[in-house]
Amino acid sequence: MLVCPSCATGHEDGERFCGRCGVPLVQAEPQALPQSERHDRARKIRPQYAEGPLVKVVGARNQSEGELLQGMLLEEGVPSLMRRSGGFDVPDFLASGPRDILVPSSGAAAARDILQLPAPGPGLGTVSGEGTPAWVKAMAVALTVVILALIAAGVYAAVF
Ligand SMILES: [Zn+2]
């Protein structure tokens, strides 16, 4: 199958130039993604992770990091979409610039599990939020230590 590189009209194998533009014909490009690979992807995706509106679960620094994350998600059956993070007005063909990884909301929890991200805090909804702030955890640990020390002191005082 030959195709015109200018207007994309298909031509018979015997022709050499496009009947509309006169441009030399080229071999038709194979599909961007081989059929078998597309089937593989579709088979990996678990339907229960493919429902609901898309939510952002993680950001990637660039396209290749994003593709790596997408691959990790797909291995576990979570379909995902990568898109350029807002506010970075770089032409689409450039691989640089941060990306957002979005997954269907039914797969968001699984995606965070796979990527070992903190779950969003209560009340934050589907917006990717921070986990418990570090100072809260530190405070809880400190309180526990103080309480244990008080108990130990009380036991010591009672026994001796
Ligand atoms: Zn043409």
> Can you give the pLDDT at residue 122?
58
Nearest to 55 by CA among 121, 120, 102, 107: 102
The model carries a pTM of 0.49
Q: At what angle do helices 63-75 and 35-44 cross, to 10 degrees?
A: 60
Burial class (CB in 10 A: 0-12, 13-18, 19+), 149: exposed
- The better pLDDT of the pair 42, 58 is held by 58
Neighbours of ion ligand 1 (CB under 5 A): 4, 6-7, 18, 20-21
Q: How far is the CA of 13 from the centre of ligand 1 (A)?
A: 15
Task: Estimate the share of the chain in helix, then strand, then coil, as percent rounded to the nearest 5.
Answer: 40, 15, 45
